[in-house]
Amino acid sequence: MAIHKSVIKRQRQADKQQLVNKSVRSALKTVAKKVEQAAAEKKADAAKEALVKAMKAYDKAASQGILHRSTASRKISRLSATVSKIGAA
């Protein structure tokens, strides 16, 4: 590794940001899991509420650059499809 001050600082910043990004991605998985659990239990109202929270979280992560916008869109779409299936049934 280089011994330049700027490289050392950039590495320190990258390490901090990696921890932040990791926690956000973990929270996204938790939010998605809540939507899927509510859908599995056929609780339409709870699933819709959880879906709204999940959509907001995924959109925010995409706008911050933590996730690619296409990835966020795909995940939101799949969760929406899951919720809409229980609404129709």
The pLDDT tens digits for 33-74 are 999 999 999 999 999 999 999 999 999 999 999 999 999 999
Question: Is the residue at 19 inside a domain?
Answer: no
Annotate 5-25 with b (16+ C-beta within 10 A) or e (fewer).
eeeeeeeeeeeeeeeeeeeee
Split at pLDDT 50, 70, 90, the class of 1 is low
Domain span at residue 47 reads: 27-88
Nearest to 61 by CA among 71, 48, 49: 71
Q: Answer whether residue 42 is part of any domain.
A: yes
- pTM score, two decimals? 0.87
Three-state DSSP class for 6?
helix
- For residue 76, give both structure tokens: 């939101």
Instruction: Indicate the number of domains in the chain.
Output: 1
Residue 17 lies in a domain: no
Asked if the structure places residue 71 within a domain, the reply is: yes
CATH number at residue 31: 1.20.58.110
pLDDT of residue 32: 98
Asked whether residue 64 is assigned to any structural domain, the reply reads: yes
- What mean pLDDT do residues 9-30 have? 97
Please, what is the Cα angle at 47 between 42 and 53, to 5 degrees? 170
Does residue 67 lie within any of the structural domains?
yes
